[in-house]
Structure 1
Amino acid sequence: MTVVGFTELRTANFESWRESARTWRTTAGKLAELENTFRTGVNDGVEAAGWKGRAAGTADRDLEVTVRQIAISASQAQTIGMAAERAASELPAIQALFHAAIQEAETSGLRIVENPAGYTVQAATPTGAAGDPTPADAARQQSAVDGFVARFDTLLRQASEADAGFAATLTTLMPGDVAETRLDAWHDSVEDTRRVAGLYGVGPVPDLDPTQTAAWWRGLSDEQRALYPAAYPRRLGGMDGLPAAVRDTANRIALDQRLTELAPALAGGTSPNHDRREWENLTEIKRVLVAGHARPPGKELILLKFGDKFLDGQVIMSVGDPDRAEHVSISVPGTDATVINGLAGGIKRIDAMQHAADTLTPGGSSNVASVFWLDYDAPEKGVAGLSGSMVGWDRSQEGAPRLNSFVNGVRAQGRDRHITMIAHSYGTAVVGDAARAGSGPGVDDVVSLGSPGMHVKRAQDLHMDPKHVWAERALGTSKDTLVVEGGAYSHGADHKPGGRSLVDTILGEGNDPVTPTDEEFGANVMSGDAHAHDDYWNPGSESLVNQAKIVMGMYNDPNPLQHPRLE
């Protein structure tokens, strides 16, 4: 470790460090702007032009690689700027204490002599001169000398340690790597950020519940909050209780990083099937995000989670910021919902619901944020539209704790917002398990659409006021009939089927099923106009308008005509 000398610390000018930090941060900002311009102006232009075929596919991959390289460079430049900024603030702080100690020593009558070997602190009156101090005075002077020497040495040691730490960090960052084009540089970039983050006291993310997470985040400094998403993007992106904007920033970093990690093996044809499926899922998430880049405020796409716990993927995405909205809806899809075949359609559905809410609101802005929640392994239809996972409870029970955690995370942001959970098909069983397992689902209203059952026989068993439980099923005979009436023999019960064969479960042996639209369930049964299992979101439909009215709490309007229409 290089030792910082007395004269060096006293006379150092750190303005050049500050200027370097500003330059790197400015460079990072310009690279981030370039990434956004390139992505929205070039990538989207190719897609909008309708260019198809093998050449288009190759070009699209090359364009995406270029964008990620720009993003890596922006991240590296920002990290270097933060390291320089930290050095430019900590070392001057040590220097200020050093200057104060020097002034205090001189004011007290001591003399500081600087020399090539370092320095000495001397009493003002040399020993042996006229008026020699008494032994007591000499002892006091020596004590003062020793005290200042100890202070100077401590500050010099702190400066030397800080200088060595910053030098080591900056050496590993290697500014020349900002121009690096290797795709695996993402990993290096994250490691670099973590090293710099350590200078600010940023370490591994703690394992906390949503309420604790919200409190932890609020207790961090501004610098720490700025560093955490870049240093631990994947971990932060999935943490319930963090602000939605923070999760979105972290998840977009983590998404690009993971796609980059998967790319080499996929290109070489050596990737296992799980990685290929993950690539397809993440590519679809990326496609939806890119396609939605130009959405207006209040309709922007916010990525709240993604994952590969299940082969069909995981994703939570919001239209609008749930932390800023007055009303929040959480949409839980049902059977056969996957990232690939469900995300784009799910966003389309909640877009339709938001539009319906806007049309019901004077001025056309309903202040609604709508979340597509696919953080469970939705069952597959299987052969002839039937599967064990579809009639079983395992998938809903496995996903229910994560749904509760997500809702608690939204609540932990502190604002008293109105939250509605809208569940479809098997998704209603997930909501039922989430509600029956504890003190309720933590939301203001629950809407059940095309439900085969919620694993309770009475609305009150959801641990909420039945006046805030709503249900609808499609008119006539359709697939909705098969789902509701056929699925009821498994999901219309209030206990998990056990000891019975699949056939007995379907035929209802030993069961007395009740679904949310049955009178004895006790929910508000809505009068809609859906004629099929997926018709609840048809634009302009009464079914869709009913949902929007519930999401906005219009059942409290003094005008009964504004209430959801009931049978």
Structure 2
Amino acid sequence: MSGPLTRALLEKLNPSVLSTAAQALRARAGKIADEQAQFPKRLRFPASGKEWTGAASDALQERASGFGRAYGTEHTRLLAAAETYTQADGYISESAKTARQFLAGVESMPMLVASPDGSKTWDCGEPFEVAQDFAVHVKPGSVPQGAPWQIGQLLQFKAAELTEDLKRLVGQLEDLGRDWGSKVREAMDFKDLALDSKGQPYTPYDSHRAAMETIEGMASGAVPDNPFILRDQWGKLNDGEKEEMWRKHAHIGDLDGIPAVDKDKFNRATFDRETEEKKQGVQRILDEHKDWNLDHAPHNPGSNEGRQWREWKNRADAAQADLQKSLDLQGALKPVLDPNGKEIPGQHRYLLQHAQDGTRAVVSAGNPDTAKNVATFVPGTTEHADHLPGDMHRIDGMFNSAVNAGSPKDGTSVIGWFGYDAPDWVGENNPSSPKGAEAGAPLLDRFQDGLRATHEGDPSHNTVIGHSYGSTVVGEAASHGRTLNADDVIYLGSPGVEMQSPSDLRLTGVDPSQAASHTWAAADKWDPVPHSESIPVVHGPFGVPIPALPGTGLGPFGDSPLGPAPTGSEFNLPKSQIIPVDPHPPTWDHPMPGGAHSDYWDDTQGKDSALTTMGVIINGPKR
């Protein structure tokens, strides 16, 4: 109690609030116990060989152990504090009750005073009243008229006696208040819980510092990146802090969860710098032998000088080829201009990802963060990042088709996702195996999550389009325990999508029973890849199917390593979901039987049914 107890304070005193506080403390302790039990379960490490290791893992384990100990200590201390509050309520309430009852008894006490010989009695009524300082006074007029003066004196003596008794009870209550107040303060002293394992105070929380540390961990690979967490943390940085992160991690723009405008800004800066370094690298090789010419070997090719020239030429050719890939991508990133030389609104190129070694590149026509309709194109076999510039006509074709279908030009985005290691014809990563799809699927999943994380305003309608083996990657990303963050999927010229039927498809927010209505597929009658389901095959170069030996068990579906083609009868896709395709038979200038495999983007009138339908699907349902 902060001051002397008065009668008014005694009347207002409500120690039961201590029990209410005790209940709250016990409830908090219960929640802490639940948190302590759930904490280890929430501490998940990524699977599939991506577990945290090394110093990052050790630091996390130490921090986790500290949290576990803190949970246990806080739980124990809260329960102890609750018990202290309960006991304080009991003792103080009982003492206050006694004081109140005594005070009430004093003021309701009747006084009948008899003469010494008992012959006469004087009724003094209830003569006492208690002041704010607990002094008992005799009320004026309490001595009956005609009573001897000794009656008044006797009442004063009695008032003094009652004052002494009441103040003794109040004093006991004040002593209890001080004693239990000290115990409550001690029980609620949790300052030591705010100390780290070394007994030092924890550093006050700084949202900017925490954001920088989180992004630093993701950029360095010490912490698995999560697009939604990254978007939240990235939004807490100012422009200077973002620049600082880019200077430390040149490819930070590759991370999913950073807005497209920032991705493009930092990725272009890094890409331009790396391209300039490649130019300088080519020049350094050429300057090694300024008197030599790449097009003319020395007079004696078999001489020592001739061997040195060939080694020099091979290095120069390789460096120039690598440089040319970067120059081609730079060209693909240039603005799309109208006949008057002005950039076409809404079709700006965004460099969303790129790898210095040329293995990955992701470019968007239009800003996916502000677009109403977003499409992601996943290419197939041998379609590495250096093929992206040559495929920009496909991206632009789908963009224009969507706009023609009603999608706003400044609200449309089509992305070329060359973000995985597309299969070749050597080694294990070949198109007859699902391994390439299994490796690319989590990357595509995370990329699509990143699009959702950074999108502004109402959710966009997102379509993922897989061509050839790219459809296998899309199917793998939307099945086998994964869920693809998209509204619709389109399979073009698909050899199989790692599913047995549309019901195996898993899209975020789409009921599996409705998956078929979100699945679309197209197959040109002259495309051999989707029409080889009746025989086990290894899909060879140029889309030509090469029969495989029965019984080889090339994949999880036996002799069909990638599962049935989505346009085939085994897949059981409703006919309404089959995209019409104008046939593209072999011609004298395109005699290969697999030529139709690449003609789904034909915009020639009378041959553009597939591209037109793709635009309608990208535009999404009427909203």
TM-score (norm 1): 0.54
Describe how 1:412-451 pairs up with structure 2 within 5 A.
412-415=453-456, 416-451=459-494
Distance 1:393 1:290, change over 3 A: same
Q: Distance in 1 between matches of 2:503 and 2:524?
A: 24
Distance 1:262 1:401, change over 3 A: same
Give the 3-state SS of the residue equivalent to 2:217 in structure 1: coil
Give 1:371's aligned residue.
415
Describe how 1:185-264 pairs up with structure 2 within 5 A.
205-207=216-218, 208-225=225-242, 227-229=244-246, 231-232=247-248, 234-264=250-280
Shift of 1:509: 10
Q: Are 2:605 and 1:538 aligned?
A: no
Query: Rg bigger for which structure?
Result: 2
Shift of 1:520: 3.8
Distance 1:258 1:437, change over 3 A: farther
Q: Are 2:608 and 1:548 aligned?
A: no
Give 1:298's aligned residue.
346
Q: Distance in 2 between matches of 1:505 and 1:277?
A: 39
Q: Are 2:332 and 1:288 aligned?
A: yes
Distance 1:263 1:411, change over 3 A: same
Q: Distance in 2 between matches of 1:214 and 1:507?
A: 38
Q: Are 2:379 and 1:338 aligned?
A: no
8 Å CA contact 2:363–2:416 kept in 1: the answer is yes
Shift of 1:451: 0.2
Give the 3-state SS of the residue equivalent to 1:519 in structure 2: coil
Shift of 1:256: 1.5
Give 2:452's aligned residue.
411
Give the 3-state SS of the residue equivalent to 1:205 in structure 2: helix
Q: Distance in 2 between matches of 1:482 and 1:304?
A: 31
Q: Distance in 2 between matches of 1:507 and 1:440?
A: 22
Q: Distance in 1 between matches of 2:316 and 2:215?
A: 30
Shift of 1:204: 7.2
User: One-letter code of the match for 1:545?
Assistant: T
The structure carrying a bigger helix percent of its residues is 1
Describe how 1:435-474 pairs up with structure 2 within 5 A.
435-464=478-507, 465-474=515-524
Give the 3-state SS of the residue equivalent to 1:206 in structure 2: helix
Q: Distance in 1 between matches of 2:550 and 2:321?
A: 30
8 Å CA contact 1:474–1:528 kept in 2: the answer is yes
Give 2:571's aligned residue.
521
Match of 1:322 among 350, 365, 368: 368
8 Å CA contact 1:251–1:305 kept in 2: the answer is yes
Describe how 1:500-519 pairs up with structure 2 within 5 A.
504=552, 510-511=558-559, 513-519=563-569
Q: Are 2:400 and 1:347 aligned?
A: no
Distance 1:508 1:224, change over 3 A: closer
- 1:358-387 deviation per Cα after TM superposition (whole angstroms, max 9, x unaligned): 22228x6372100000011212257xxx99
Shift of 1:487: 10
Shift of 1:398: 1.3
**What is the aligned-residue RMSD (CA, Å)?**
3.5
- 1:294-338 deviation per Cα after TM superposition (whole angstroms, max 9, x unaligned): 5322101100011146xx621100000000100000000111213
Give the 3-state SS of the residue equivalent to 1:370 in structure 2: strand
User: One-letter code of the match for 1:369?
Assistant: S
Bigger shift: residues 427-436 or 511-520: 511-520
Give the 3-state SS of the residue equivalent to 2:281 in structure 1: helix
Give 1:114's aligned residue.
none
Distance 1:488 1:452, change over 3 A: farther
Q: Distance in 1 between matches of 2:609 and 2:364?
A: 24
Q: Distance in 2 between matches of 1:514 and 1:285?
A: 35
Q: Distance in 1 between matches of 2:228 and 2:505?
A: 22
8 Å CA contact 1:486–1:506 kept in 2: the answer is no
Shift of 1:528: 2.2
TM-score (norm 2): 0.49
Q: Distance in 2 between matches of 1:395 and 1:274?
A: 26
Give 1:401's aligned residue.
442
8 Å CA contact 1:332–1:423 kept in 2: the answer is yes
Structure 2 residue runs without a partner (length 5+)? 1-207, 219-224, 286-311, 508-514, 540-547, 585-595
Give the 3-state SS of the residue equivalent to 2:250 in structure 1: helix
8 Å CA contact 1:303–1:316 kept in 2: the answer is yes
Describe how 1:10-159 pairs up with structure 2 within 5 A.
none
Q: Distance in 2 between matches of 1:201 and 1:338?
A: 33
Shift of 1:257: 1.7
8 Å CA contact 1:392–1:490 kept in 2: the answer is no
Shift of 1:233: 5.7
Distance 1:483 1:289, change over 3 A: same
- 1:119-147 deviation per Cα after TM superposition (whole angstroms, max 9, x unaligned): xxxxxxxxxxxxxxxxxxxxxxxxxxxxx
8 Å CA contact 2:533–2:568 kept in 1: the answer is no
Shift of 1:461: 1.1
- 1:107-130 deviation per Cα after TM superposition (whole angstroms, max 9, x unaligned): xxxxxxxxxxxxxxxxxxxxxxxx
Shift of 1:502: 9.6
